[in-house]
Structure 1
Amino acid sequence: MNAAAKQAKLSLKNNRKFKIFLFFLILTSIIWLLIELSKTYTSTVNFKVEYRNLPKDKLLQSKPIVNLEGVLKGPGFSLLKHNIIHKKLLINLKSITKGERTYYILPNNQLQNLNAQLTGDIELLRILNDTIFIDLGLNISKKVPVASNVSIDFKLGYNLTNELKFSPDSIVITGPKNNIDSIKEIQTKAISLKDIYKNIDLDIALILPPKTSNVQLSETKIHVKAEVDKFTEGRFLLPVEVINVPDSLKINPFPKEIEVIYQVGLSNFNKINKNSLSIVFDYKQYENDSLVKYLTPVIKQKSEFIASIKINPRQIEFLIQK
């Protein structure tokens, strides 16, 4: 029993000595580490890069490099902190230089500005990427029309009383000349409207043509409006009128009248009369081709409220009298 107690007492004593040894080992390591981190070192580090102050008449045609390697000098504490929290550097493009084929920046010429962006007692000695090439293009602007990409399916008996109205109907696009020159119009986002019987009033986004991500639009969306109405059919007879007949001739048409069948919005039906249309037959059709045996109608004038017209008959015979 005494031997067991002595053995336990010895084990406890040895364990206490080990803990004391371990404590001093850790303490010594921490002191050594603090001493080492307080010393000055140089280290190669990686920076994320952003570009500022692009000339107003220029535009980036491709994205420049976004990572740079630089040599930092400073206490180990500061270098360690930088490696944990990566610092972003801003490169000033005001000092951009035009070479024979492209533009470029010498970042080591901006060390004073770059060091001002660093915190603590770190010094940026140099950038290892001594030249950054920048692909710039001439930034131009031009006005282009907006093109509709709207499909409308109306409820039976309904239709537009006038054309879709865009606001604005044209926009200004800005970007590299090689992109801008090829753009003739800007389309709306494709949209399909179903079973429409009420007025249209909505905003539609505009879309860029493919491979033109560097192009900017003065508007990102447009407003679209149109009046929708229930349509009804009307008809009346009009006398046949032949124009451009020489004074020495007399034209006797057959038939003497034509029937006009038209579609009009119900709300505008009472606004339509025979004076809302002007339909003529042109004698020059025969003068230009003496083999012509019939004259076809020409709609000279039509009310904006009339959506469609059907003329019966579609052609007339005529007799020439001298």
Structure 2
Amino acid sequence: MKSIFKRLTPKLDHNKAFVFILISTAAIWFVLQLSKTYTTQLQLNYSIINLPKEYKIEKEQKLSTYITSTGLNLLYLNLFNPQINIDYSKFTKSIDFISLDEAVLNNLISTQLEVGKDQVEVNHNLKLRFYQLFSKQMKVIPILNLTFQPGFDTIQDIQYSPSKVTVYGKRNILSSIDSVFTKPIIHKNIDDSISSQIELNLEALEFDQVNTFVIEYNIFVDRFTEKTITLPVEVINLPLDTSISIYPKQVEVSFEIPLSKYDKVSAKNFKLVCDYDKAKVSDSYLIPKIVKSPKFIKYQRLRTKQISYLIKE
């Protein structure tokens, strides 16, 4: 066994030496190649600094340029793709475009990449279309999908904030839009008040910016019960020289009311009238109408739909 190992050992040493020489040769060749000079085309990213806030570049493009430099430097540029910063003041402005000529581009690239001007070749202008941003306040419309446990309901309109948002974009697009919708507000079997947030639905809206993407909302909920009270009938717009007698003189109204408000509501919180001007000459009745009632009650119903009257001679 030892004799076999001794015969294999020289071969193993020989293989290791061969691999070492191969790797060393490849490394030396690679270093030599990186030290040579090449010319290659690069697509450079850029950023426009000090651009006025109300301006928006419609479609940016990359800077195409030829760079002559060592392989090592070109490898670095390809790997890290440094960004070229261009100050807005250097552009030439027209109605719809801003542009930069080849000479200015050449100088910017050579300075920021730290290569000679003769090592940079730009054979095109940089021409960008821009537009001005306009702002418009738009009403927020919530999309509601709510169901309540039996006996429960909202005690006031849903409160949401902000009720308006500021949207920024092209004037011709904003002029045709007056409101934005929320994503669906979905709550099932509600039996208590809710405070939460919902995102605006902006998928179909062509905009550039909006001052908020989320609104807060509050749903105030209470248990409701039925209540009935009796209201006096008041006749309005009765001519001064006319006297009438009405029947009935009082009308019952029933409605749904939050339990927390049950004892706080009475006839003084309502006003029921009959407008004499709206009575038909051929009819001998008036139509009662509630013109004042608490905002938090629901489903109010008059037990009497007509008030009979008789003109006194």
Question: What is aligned with 1:40?
Answer: 37
- Is the counterpart of residue 234 in structure 1 residue 227 in structure 2? yes
Q: Displacement, 1:49?
A: 3.8
In structure 1, the residue matched to 2:51 is 54
Equivalent AA in structure 1 for residue 56 of structure 2: L
- How many Å separate the matches in 2 of 1:292 and 1:103? 74
1:81 and 2:72 correspond: no
Q: Distance in 2 between matches of 1:182 and 1:96?
A: 33
What's 1:131 paired with? 126
Residue equivalent to 2:268: 275
Q: Report the CA distance shift for 1:116/1:284 in structure 2 as closer, same or farther (over 3 A).
A: farther
Q: 1:194 aligns with which of 167, 188, 195?
A: 188
Partner of 2:7: none
Q: Distance in 2 between matches of 1:246 and 1:259?
A: 27
What amino acid is the match of 1:220? F
Structure 1 residues 104 and 248: alpha-carbon distance in aligned structure 2, compared to 1, 3 A threshold: same
Counterpart code for 1:247: L
- Go from structure 1 to structure 2 and tell me whether the alpha carbon gap of 1:33 and 1:273 turns closer, same or farther (over 3 Å shift): closer
Decide whether the 8 Å contact of 1:74 with 1:122 is kept in 2: no
Contact 1:165 1:224 in 2 (8 A): yes
- Indicate yes or no: 2:271 matched with 1:259: no
2:166 matches 1:172: yes
The 3 A distance-change label for structure 1 pair 263 and 282 is same
Matched residue of 1:74: which SS? strand
SS class of match (1:245): coil
CA RMSD across the alignment: 3.0
Q: Deviations over 1:182-229 (max 9, x none)?
A: 221222221211111111211122222614141x22222122113211
Find out whether 1:115 has 2:106 as its counterpart. no
Deviations 1:60-81 (A, max 9, x none): 4x3322x331111212221133
The AA in structure 2 aligned to 1:89 is I
Compute the displacement of 1:36 (Å): 4.8
Amino acid of the structure 2 residue aligned with 1:127: V
TM-score, length basis structure 2 = 0.82
> 2:220 is aligned with what amino acid?
E
For the 8 Å contact 2:284–2:310, the answer to whether it is kept is: no
Q: Which residue of 1 aligns with 2:238?
A: 245
How many angstroms does 1:130 deviate by?
A: 1.6
The answer as to whether partners of 2:228 and 2:252 remain within 8 angstroms in 1 is yes
Distance 2:30 2:161 in 1: 69
Q: How far apart are residue 107 of structure 1 and its match?
A: 5.7
The yes-or-no answer on 1:63 pairing with 2:59 is: yes
Q: 1:37 to 1:272 in 2, by over 3 A?
A: same
SS in 2 for 1:237: strand
Aligned residues: 298
The counterpart of 1:315, out of the listed 297, 302, 306, is 306
For residues 205 and 168 of structure 1, the distance between their equivalents in structure 2, rounded to whole angstroms, comes to 12
- The answer for unaligned runs of 5 or more in structure 2 is 1-9
Aligned counterparts of 1:208 and 1:24: Cα–Cα separation in 2? 61
Q: Work out whether residues 105 and 122 of structure 2, in 8 Å CA contact, stay in contact via their aligned partners in 1.
A: no
Q: Which residue of 2 aligns with 1:217?
A: 210
State the 1:291 CA deviation. 4.9
- Amino acid of the residue matched to residue 63 of structure 1? K
Contact kept in structure 2, 1:50 and 1:91, CA below 8 Å: yes
1:140 equivalenced with 2:131 (yes/no): no
Please give the secondary structure, in 1, of the residue aligned with 2:45.
strand
Q: Distance in 2 between matches of 1:200 and 1:272?
A: 25
Contact 1:41–1:74 (8 Å) recurs in 2: yes
Query: Within 2, Cα distance between the matches of 1:305 and 1:85?
Result: 65
Whole-angstrom CA distance in 1 between matches of 2:288 and 2:90: 70
Secondary structure at the counterpart of residue 212 of structure 1? coil
Where structure 1 has 5 or more consecutive residues not aligned to the other structure, the ranges are 1-11
